[in-house]
Amino acid sequence: MTDDEAPQDLGERIRRIAATIAGEVDKRMIVGEEAHSILDTAARSLGATMERWGRNPSLRRLLGGVQRDVLTSPGERVELSASLGVSAKLGTIARFYVDDAVVAEVPIGSGGEVRTVISAPAAGLHRVGVKVCNDKGDVVSDLIGYRLLQVASGRPVVLVHAALFLPRPPDGAQPMASPVEALRALIDEGFELVYFDIHEKNRDALIHEELLHQRLPPSAILVYSAEEEELRSLGVDFVNMFASTAIRRLRAKGVPVTTILTERDEDSEESRAERVTVMAPSTALRRALAGDFELEIEQAAQLLRDRASSNPLDWRLDQTTESRLVHGNWFHAELDNAIARQRLLAAFEEATSTIHIQFYIVRPSDFAERLIVKLIQRARAGVKVRFMVDALYSDQEVLGRLNPLILSLRQEDNIEVLAVSPIESSKQVDISNLKKRDHRKLVIIDGKQAFVSGRNASDEYFLGFDEVPVHDNTRHERIPWLDAHIEVSGPLVREVQQTFMHTWERQGGEAIAPGRDVLPELQPAGSAAGRLVVHRGFTETNGLAMYEAMFDVAEDHVYIVNDFPIVAALERAIHRLLAREVSVKLLVGSATARRDDGTFFPAPLHRTLFEYMVKGKLEPLLLAGVEVYEFVPPASPMIVARGGRIRPYVHAKVVSVDGLVTSIGSANLDATASFWESEANIVVQDAEFASGVEATLQKLIDGSVELDPKSEYWKRERAQRAVVATLWPGTLYS
C-alpha cells in the first residue's frame, strides 16, 4: 500500500485491523449490524488506548509520538516536534502532516527527535501526525497518536483549568456549578476554548483521557510542567508565574486570551495587571444568561487591531516583558575589561550630585579596593553615594558577617549602604533564600548616565587579558574573564534610575526624594531606541521572554555570548531558529581556564565539574547545527603558558539578531536567571549599534576555537561530561 492509499484516520485503521482479526478467528460468530457495532466499539477502545500511549511522556520517548499540542494564530510560525523512539531506526525521513496534507519532510538524525517550523494554517483545530519514511519515500512506520494544532479564530479565548475535570478526592470541594455547562455557555457566547494545566508533573495523558471520558469539546491542552521547565523537586509555588507567562506568550502570538475559567472567582492585583477575567463556572453561567461578555469581546478585537499596527519585535517585547521602547538615546557597548574599568572610574570622577551603584558580588581584589577609595573620595567631595549589594554573594549581613570593603563605605557620612535580602539566621537558609537573589549590576551617575552590566566588583571582570601575567601554573582565579556592559545616555536612563530606587526602597532603604539631582529632565542624547527589561525573580519571566522574542523574529542570523547551561525553553527556541535555517553562532569560554592545548590551569574542583556540565549541555546544540566557539583572547607578552594563548571563562551576556537588535546586561540564558534571580538588560533596537556589536563579536569569534564534536579535543572529555551529567543535580544548580 502506498502512502497515498493509507487510511488517514487512526480509528479507521484500527477498525480494519480488528475486522481482519475477527474474520480470521471466526467469521461465523458475528453477522450483520451487530458485527459493525462491535468492531466500531473495539476500534474506539483501541484508538483511545493508542492516544493515551501517544500522550504518555515515557511511552512517547520509547515508541515515538508528536510532542505537544500547540496554540497559535493564523500565519504565525509554529514549531512541530516529535520523538521518534524506536521508529528512528526504521527510516531516514520524518514526514509531518497537518490533517491530511504533508507540511514538511525532515531528515532523521542521531538524536531521536525531529522538528520543523511551518506557517500556521487557517483558524480551526488541526491534527498533527508524523510518519517515518525510507529513502524512496515509502512509509515504514506511523508514530502513534496525533496532537492538536489549534489556530485561534480571533474570538475571545478562555483558558480552562483542567483541574476542573480531573478526579477529586472524596472529601474534596465540588464546584457549585457544572463546568461542562459553563463551557457550553461560553461557546454559545462566542468564546474559543483552550485547556491548560500547571503542575509539578506532566498530566497531559490524564487530562486527555478525562476529556474523552466526559465528552468535553476538543481543544488544545497546554501543559506547564515544573518537571519540564527545570523547576522540579524544589517545593516552590510557580503557578502564578507560569499563569502570567502563558497569557503573555499567547497574546504575543496573536491569541486573544481574555478569560480564565477555574475553581473560584478572583479579582487580584495580578489578574488586573494581566487584563484577564478569572471566574468560576457559576459566574460564567450567570454572565452568559445575562449576555454580559461585551468587554471580553471588545478586548479581543482591540488586541488584534493593536497587533496589526505593530512590528513583530515591538509587539512581542511589549506583550511579554513589561517594558516600553524609549527613543532618543545614545548607547555604547564595552567588552574590553581594561577600557570598561577606565570608563567607569572616569564616570565616578565626573559625578557632581549622586552616584547609585548596585552589585551582585563585591570581592576582595585590587579593583574593589580602588572602587571603594574612589567612592569615598567622591562622597567627601559632596557627591551622595548609595551603594547596594546582594547580601549573600557579597557576604554582607549574612549570619552576622560584614564585608570589610563595604564596612569602610558605611563609615562615611555621605554614603548609604544597603544589603539586598540579608540572611539573619540559619532558619533562613533554604532553597528559596539561596536562589532568589538580586543579580543586577547597575551604575547611575547624576541621574543622567547609566551602566547596565554583567560585571561584578572584582579583578576578573575589570582586568585586561594583557594586564595579568600567566604561566603554566597560574591559578584559574587570577585569569580575567570576558564580560560586557552597556552605557546609556538619554531618556532611558530615567527607567534605570527608577528601578534602582524601587529596589532600594523595597529593601528598606530610606526613601529617595525624586529631585533634579536624582530624576532630572532628560533631553535626547542620540537617535537610538531602546528599552530596559527587568526580571524580578520568581514573579514573572521577563528575561526569558526577552530572549525568546528576539529569537522568534530572527530571519538571518543570531549571535549569542554566554557560558551557562541554556534553559529548556531557550533550547527549544534555538532549535526553532535552526529549523528555519537561521545561522546561530555561540561564543562560550571555559569555566576552568584552559591553556592553548585545551588542558586546564589549576582550579577548584567545582569549576571543572561545572565546565564539564556546561559543555555536555552544549552537545545537542552542536550536533543540531549551532556554531560554537571557545573564546581565545589575542596573544600577549604577559602570557607565557605553553602555546602562548589561553581560553578563559566567558561571563558576558550578549545576544544580537540580524544586525537590528541587541541585548546586553546581567541575564544569563540559564534557569537561574530565567526564573529565580532578579536581572536587568538593555535591549537596543538600532541597526547601527547592532551592526557594530556584531562586528566586534565576529572579530572575537575569528580568533577563537570552533568546537567540533568529531575532534580529539572534544572526544577526550566525553566520559567526564557523561559522568557529570549523571551526577549534577540539575542545571538549576548552576
Confidence (pLDDT) at 237: 57
Spatial CA neighbour of 118 closest among 82, 74, 77: 77
Q: Looking at per-residue confidence, does 198 or 253 come out higher?
A: 253
- How far is residue 45's CA from residue 18's CA, in Å, rounded to a whole number? 11
Confidence (pLDDT) at 26: 43
Residue 137, CA distances (Å) to 2, 10, 106, 117, 641 in order: 10, 21, 12, 21, 56
Confidence (pLDDT) at 8: 44
Q: Looking at per-residue confidence, does 154 or 228 come out higher?
A: 154
Q: What pLDDT band is residue 14 in, cutting at 50, 70 and 90?
A: very low
Determine how many CB atoms are found less than 10 A away from the CB of residue 312.
14
Range of the domain at 31: 10-55
In a domain, 469, yes or no: no
- How far is residue 520's CA from residue 528's CA, in Å, rounded to a whole number? 20
Interior angle at CA 270, CA 268 and CA 271, nearest 5: 70
DSSP-derived secondary structure for 558-614: EEEE--SPPPHHHHHHHHHHHHTT-EEEEEE--SS-EETTSPBPS--HHHHHHHHHH
Q: Does pLDDT of 371 surpass 50?
A: yes
Confidence (pLDDT) at 3: 43
Residue 238, CA distances (Å) to 228, 339, 340, 637, 678 in order: 13, 41, 38, 52, 16
In a domain, 415, yes or no: yes
CA 405 to chain centroid, in Å, comes to 36
Same domain for 599 and 632, yes or no, is yes
Confidence (pLDDT) at 6: 41
In a domain, 531, yes or no: no
Same domain for 68 and 182, yes or no, is no
Spatial CA neighbour of 448 closest among 516, 529, 527, 378: 516
Confidence (pLDDT) at 341: 98
> Given the DSSP bridges, would you call strands 257-261 and 157-161 parallel, antiparallel or unpaired?
parallel
CATH value at residue 105: 2.60.40.10
Confidence (pLDDT) at 238: 60
Q: What pLDDT band is residue 12 in, cutting at 50, 70 and 90?
A: very low
Helix axes 32-55, 10-26, angle to 10 degrees: 130
- How far is residue 129's CA from residue 98's CA, in Å, rounded to a whole number? 7
The total number of residues shown for the chain amounts to 734
Q: Tell me the average pLDDT across 221-228.
A: 76
- How far is residue 214's CA from residue 197's CA, in Å, rounded to a whole number? 17
Element (H, E) at 261: strand 257-261
Q: Tell me the average pLDDT across 571-598.
A: 96
Same domain for 267 and 147, yes or no, is no
Task: Let me know: does 569 contact 546? Beta carbons within 8 Å.
Answer: no
Same domain for 678 and 581, yes or no, is yes
Same domain for 700 and 553, yes or no, is yes
In a domain, 431, yes or no: yes
In a domain, 371, yes or no: yes
- How far is residue 567's CA from residue 573's CA, in Å, rounded to a whole number? 10
> Given the DSSP bridges, would you call strands 442-445 and 449-453 parallel, antiparallel or unpaired?
antiparallel
Same domain for 75 and 47, yes or no, is no
Task: Let me know: does 568 contact 579? Beta carbons within 8 Å.
Answer: no
Cell numbers for 187:
461557546
Confidence (pLDDT) at 125: 97
Q: Looking at per-residue confidence, does 197 or 43 come out higher?
A: 197
CATH value at residue 239: 3.40.50
Confidence (pLDDT) at 181: 92
Helix axes 718-727, 605-624, angle to 10 degrees: 110
Q: Looking at per-residue confidence, does 242 or 148 come out higher?
A: 148
Contacts of 60 (CB under 8 A, 6+ apart): 53, 54, 67, 83, 85
In a domain, 314, yes or no: no
The three-state secondary structure class of 622 is: helix
- How far is residue 181's CA from residue 118's CA, in Å, rounded to a whole number? 36
In a domain, 330, yes or no: no
Domain boundary among 416, 436, 463: 463
Cell numbers for 417:
549602604
Confidence (pLDDT) at 27: 43
- How far is residue 246's CA from residue 319's CA, in Å, rounded to a whole number? 11
Spatial CA neighbour of 253 closest among 290, 177, 331, 307: 307
Mean pLDDT taken over the chain:
89
Same domain for 242 and 357, yes or no, is no
Q: What pLDDT band is residue 173 in, cutting at 50, 70 and 90?
A: low
Q: What pLDDT band is residue 730 in, cutting at 50, 70 and 90?
A: low
Domain boundary among 400, 431, 463: 463
Contacts of 169 (CB under 8 A, 6+ apart): none
Q: What pLDDT band is residue 665 in, cutting at 50, 70 and 90?
A: very high
Q: Does pLDDT of 193 surpass 90?
A: yes
Q: Does pLDDT of 23 surpass 50?
A: no
**pLDDT tens, 434-483?**
889 999 999 999 999 999 999 999 999 999 999 999 999 999 999 999 99
Q: Which residue has the cell 581594561?
A: 338
Q: Looking at per-residue confidence, does 6 or 389 come out higher?
A: 389
> Given the DSSP bridges, would you call strands 646-647 and 594-595 parallel, antiparallel or unpaired?
antiparallel
Residue 423, CA distances (Å) to 433, 434, 673 in order: 8, 9, 21
Q: Tell me the average pLDDT across 493-499.
A: 98
The domain total for the chain is 5
Q: Does pLDDT of 201 surpass 60?
A: yes
Confidence (pLDDT) at 560: 98
Q: Which amino acid is at 360?
A: Y
Confidence (pLDDT) at 63: 63
Q: Tell me the average pLDDT across 337-355.
A: 98
Confidence (pLDDT) at 504: 98
Cell numbers for 542:
521577563
Q: Does pLDDT of 715 surpass 50?
A: yes
**pLDDT tens, 396-407?**
999 999 999 999
Determine how many CB atoms are found less than 10 A away from the CB of residue 493.
25
**pLDDT tens, 685-695?**
999 999 999 99
Q: Does pLDDT of 59 surpass 60?
A: no
The three-state secondary structure class of 237 is: coil
In a domain, 238, yes or no: yes
Q: What pLDDT band is residue 30 in, cutting at 50, 70 and 90?
A: very low
Same domain for 675 and 583, yes or no, is yes
Confidence (pLDDT) at 540: 87
Q: Does pLDDT of 423 surpass 90?
A: yes
**pLDDT tens, 75-91?**
999 999 998 888 888 89
Q: Does pLDDT of 46 surpass 80?
A: no
Confidence (pLDDT) at 168: 75
Domain boundary among 289, 309, 329: 309
Q: Tell me the average pLDDT across 199-213.
A: 86
Q: Tell me the average pLDDT across 221-237.
A: 64
Same domain for 403 and 380, yes or no, is yes
Confidence (pLDDT) at 29: 41
CATH value at residue 455: 3.30.870.10
Q: Tell me the average pLDDT across 268-276.
A: 83
What pTM was estimated for this model as a whole? Answer: 0.89
Confidence (pLDDT) at 625: 94
Q: What pLDDT band is residue 25 in, cutting at 50, 70 and 90?
A: very low
Q: What pLDDT band is residue 429 in, cutting at 50, 70 and 90?
A: confident
Q: What pLDDT band is residue 2 in, cutting at 50, 70 and 90?
A: very low
Same domain for 135 and 84, yes or no, is yes
Q: What is the DSSP letter of 624?
A: H
Same domain for 591 and 662, yes or no, is yes
The alpha helices in 220-268, defined as continuous H runs, are: 239-252
Same domain for 349 and 396, yes or no, is yes
